[in-house]
Amino acid sequence: MKNIMRTILKSCLLLLLGFAASCSFDEVVDPNGPSVDGVQSEASKGQLNELVVGIESTLRNGLAIETTASGTMARELYLFDADPRNTGDLLGKNGIGLDNNSFYSTGQWSGSYRCIKNANLLIEGATNTDAVNDEERNGYLGFAKTIIAYELIQMVKSYDRARINVSDFDNLGPIEDAATVLTYVRTLLEEANGNLSGAGSSFAFNLSSGFAGFDSPSTFAQFNRAVAGMAAVYDGDGTTALSYLGNSYLDLAGDLTIGPKHIFGLGGGDQSNGLFKVDGENGDQIIVHDSWINDAEAGDTRVTSKTNPRPNPQAQDDLNGTNETNLYVTNTSPIDIMRNEELILLYAEASILANNLDDAETALNVVRNAASLPNYSGALSTAELTTEMLQQRRYSLWCENHRMYDLRRYGLSSTLPIDRAGDQIFDTLPVPLSENE
């Protein structure tokens, strides 16, 4: 584990310069990336800003792997490509178990901790320098802590656990269970919000166009509150979640697509959107699980907007599907980090947890109506509204790394269909072998 963290420490400082250029960041002092020693003590503002670029860039790491792996395990999709593990391991073919030393185990873990390491370096650098004033320092700290919290939530969703303390790779903390991680995350988000409130009217750094509208301390704080609302919902605390979401960019009457986004580019050192697939392509395609098509309510426009019928049938490894992904137009299309539609669904869930059932129904109707569905007509009960909420999350958040965790946290993983005789159901990715303590 220490060798892995040393590798991350070194490589995370090789910032993606193509990403920086394509996002129109200001020129920084050292275009080759700061050294570790250079940012841990008396870092310049330029070096700190380079770390901000690195944080936002590495926030994208592992995104495609975590989405397709969890989506396959949750029977949302199949990834038909050249790697048989995507249709074998992840579906437990013939009783096979998940491999804790495979790409689907290591990809997200390594990617998230690269981002977290950059954020920890930014916290240390901003704390131990006289190159910034107190308001500027608070801006760096609020940004970094919020991103760490967001990444740790993604770890809980995929692995049901995470290593919290990784700031010192010679003295790593233990891997903690989900409840402990969420408690830590909620505390960290409160610290970050306090930092943001003391950061003045503007950041000392630029964020990419993916954070347009959320690129000042006050507007980024709305993102912080959105993440805090998500953490509280996942922690079963609906009342507090409603308070947090009320200070986010949640808007029941607003554009469902508003929110920060991952952006991509094709320049040197940048990343393309790994979830984009060419229409009709054979050999590398995200195929929709037929149950997602068959279980949809009649007239749900999310089926036709998010997927396309395959022009030619494609089968692989005794699996098949009629539709393929249509989520992204090009290989540089942005991917939502958290959009208003997700916040409305979190508001509905928080309202159910807080027994505000009328409010939950109102929120669910916003999502239903946006998908050209009529208002909810079921019983106004906790059980029925929870089922409806999970159904709307299933269709609004398809292929976005939510379904596996939703089923696990509600104890519904066993309800998933079995695709082939001998397949198994998994609802948690294995912690990488290198992390074994």
pLDDT digits (tens, 9 = 90+) for 111-127: 999 999 999 999 999 99
Residue 90, domain member (yes or no): yes
Q: Are residues 134 and 49 in contact, defined by beta-carbon separation less than 8 angstroms?
A: no
Closest by alpha carbon to 297, among 195, 204, 397, 376? 376
Check whether 188 has a pLDDT greater than 70. yes
pLDDT in tens, 375-427: 999 999 999 999 999 999 999 999 999 999 999 999 999 999 999 999 999 99
Q: How many CB atoms lie within 10 A of CB 361?
A: 21
Domain membership flag for residue 317: no
Nearest CA among 206, 217, 213 for reference residue 138: 217
pLDDT at residue number 282:
87
Question: Does residue 424 form part of some domain?
Answer: no
192 in a domain, yes or no?
A: yes
Q: With 70 as the cut, is the pLDDT of residue 15 above it? A: no
What is the pLDDT averaged over residues 323-349?
98
Residue 191, CB half-sphere, CA atoms under 13 Å: how many?
A: 15
According to the model, what pLDDT value does residue 5 have? 47
Instruction: Report if residue 277 sits inside a domain.
Output: no
Indicate if the pLDDT at residue 199 is higher than 70: yes
User: Which amino acid is it at 23?
Assistant: C
Task: Please state the domain count of the chain.
Answer: 1
Per-residue pLDDT band at 437 (split at 50, 70, 90): low
Q: Is the pLDDT reported for residue 143 higher than 50?
A: yes
Question: For residue 436, what pLDDT is reported?
Answer: 77
| pLDDT averaged over every residue in the chain | 92
Contact between 140 and 205 under an 8 Å Cβ cutoff? The reply is yes
Within-domain flag for 395: no
Tokens describing residue 321: 């599907």
CA dist 129 and 40 (Å) reads 8
Let me know: does 326 contact 279? Beta carbons within 8 Å: yes
- Rounded Cα distance, 109 and 428, in Å: 13
pLDDT of residue 313: 80
| DSSP alpha helix (H) spans, 59-167 | 63-73, 103-127, 134-159
Cα angle 311, 81, 327; round to 5: 55
**224-283, pLDDT tens digit by residue?**
999 999 999 999 999 999 999 999 999 999 999 999 999 999 998 899 999 999 999 888
Q: Give the model's pLDDT for residue 22.
A: 39
Q: Does residue 1 have a pLDDT over 60?
A: no
Residue ranges of the alpha helices (H) in 131-260? 134-159, 178-197, 217-234, 238-245
Q: Residues 6 or more apart from 147 whose CB is under 8 A from it?
A: 55, 59, 115, 116, 119
Cα 29 to Cα 210: distance, rounded to the nearest angstrom = 23
Q: Looking at the domain assignment, is residue 37 inside a domain? A: yes
Question: How far is residue 108's CA from residue 384's CA, in Å, rounded to a whole number?
Answer: 34
- C-alpha span between 340 and 131 (Å, rounded): 37
Contact 277, 324 (CB under 8 A): yes
- Over range 362-367, report the average pLDDT: 98
Residue 357: pLDDT over 50? yes
pLDDT above 70 covers what percent of the chain?
91
* Pairing assessment for the beta strands 261-262 and 335-336 based on DSSP bridges: antiparallel
pLDDT value, residue 186 = 98
pLDDT of residue 292: 98
Burial grade of 255 (CB within 10 A; 0-12, 13-18, 19 or more): exposed
Per residue in 53-101, pLDDT (tens digit) is 999 999 999 999 999 999 999 999 999 999 999 999 999 999 999 999 9
* pLDDT at residue 190 in the model: 98
Q: Report the pLDDT value the prediction gives residue 31, as an integer from 0 to 100.
A: 41
Question: Does 69 reside within a domain?
Answer: yes
More confident site: 333 or 23: 333
DSSP letters, 11-35, are: HTTS--HHHHHHTTPPP-S-TT---
DSSP state of 174: P
Domain span including residue 87: 2-171+178-246+260-265
- Whether the per-residue pLDDT at 161 is higher than 90: the answer is yes
**Per-residue DSSP letter, 377:** -
Q: In 3D, which of 87, 56, 89, 33 has the Cα closest to residue 319?
A: 87
Inter-residue contact 249 to 259 (CB < 8 Å) = yes
